[in-house]
Amino acid sequence: MRRTDREITDQETIDQIIAAAGVCRLGLSKDDHPYVVPVSFGYDGNALYFHTATQGMKIDFMSANPRICFELDQDVSVVRDEQVACKWGQLFSSVIGFGTVHEITDPPGRLAAMNQVMRHYSGKEWEFDPETFAQVRLWCITIDQLTGKRREI
């Protein structure tokens, strides 16, 4: 990391940023073409979980290349300078990670993954309509590396 003065090395702080993030952006690659897409997610301290429809571009990209990059952020705001354009910037807390994505196909694992996503946004466990639940696919990102970065005033 170039700006080591902004680096976050404390795992608890990284976990707090992830817990406060509203969206996870996935960086995918297929046939030398990049694709970035936001997803709803859940995090259990070791892995990220998300759901998709039964088919689509995300699935095509993940099937072609399971290596994945992801980004989460919080507390993003613009820093303005009314006199000097190059002094504008951003305040933020962010986490970037790398890992491998795989589909969760076993029924208990699917239920646990979907509840991890729902717990992130609602703080509680849910029961799911079987017909609706059958229309989603669940995924897990096994995290290989996480880095955090923050710019504060």
pLDDT attached to residue 73: 84
| pLDDT value, residue 86 | 72
- The whole-number pLDDT of residue 57 equals 96
Residue 117 within any structural domain of the chain:
yes
Number of structural domains, the chain? 1
Tokens describing residue 113 = 């993954």
- Taking 70 as the pLDDT cut, the residues of the chain under it are 1-6, 75-81, 84, 87-92, 151-153
For residue 9, the model assigns a pLDDT of: 82
Kindly tell me the burial class for residue 48, based on how many C-beta atoms sit within 10 Å of its own C-beta (0-12, 13-18, 19 or more). buried
Which pLDDT does position 72 carry in this prediction? 94
Q: Tell me if 153 is assigned to some domain.
A: no
> Phi, psi at residue 108, to the nearest 5°?
-65, -35
Q: What is the pLDDT of residue 82?
A: 73
Q: What is the CATH number of the domain that holds 23?
A: 2.30.110.10
Q: Is residue 102 part of a domain?
A: yes
pLDDT given at position 142: 97
Domain assignment of residue 112, yes or no: yes
Model pLDDT, residue 94: 86
- Domain assignment of residue 111, given as a range: 4-148
What pLDDT does 6 receive? 61
Residue 52 CA to residue 38 CA, distance in Å, equals 11
Q: Which of 95, 101, 94, 42 is nearest to 67 (CA)?
A: 101
Tell me what pLDDT residue 90 has.
61
Exposed e or buried b for every residue in 93-126, given b needs 16+ CB within 10 A?
A: bbbbbebebebbeeeeebbbbbbbbbbbeeeeee
pLDDT at 152: 67
